[in-house]
Amino acid sequence: MTTDAHATHRDDYGAKLGMWLFLVTEVNLFGGLFIAYAYMRHKYPAEFHVGGGQLNAILGVVNTLVLLTSSLTVALAILETERGRHRVSRDLLYGTIFLGATFLVIKAFEWGAKFHHGLYPSSEHMAALPLGEQIFFGLYFTMTGLHGLHVLIGIIVLTAIARRIAQGRVTRERHMLLYNGGLYWHLVDVVWIFLLPLLYLAA
Q: Which CATH number fits the domain that encloses residue 68? A: 1.20.120.80
pLDDT of residue 11: 57
Contact predicate 50/133, CB 8 Å: yes
pLDDT confidence tier of residue 171, bands split at 50, 70 and 90: confident
Query: pLDDT for 66-88, tens place per residue?
Result: 999 999 999 999 999 999 999 99
71, 189 contact by CB (below 8 A) = yes
pLDDT (tens digit, 9 = 90+) per residue, 130-161?
999 999 999 999 999 999 999 999 999 999 99
Q: Is 51:37 a contact under the CB 8 Å cutoff?
A: no
pLDDT band at 5 (very low <50, low <70, confident <90, very high): very low
Q: Domains in the chain: how many in total?
A: 1
pLDDT tens digit string along 26-54? 999 999 999 999 999 999 999 999 999 99
DSSP one-letter string for 95-162: HHHHHHHHHHHHHHHHHHHHHHTT-STT-HHHHHS-HHHHHHHHHHHHHHHHHHHHHHHHHHHHHHHH
Residue (of 147, 196, 179, 139) closest to 26 by Cα position: 147
Backbone angles phi, psi at 119, to 5 degrees: -105, 90
Model confidence at 12: pLDDT above 80: no
Split at pLDDT 50, 70, 90, the class of 9 is low
| Residue 138: domain span | 3-200
Task: Report the distance separating Cα 85 and Cα 134, nearest Å.
Answer: 51
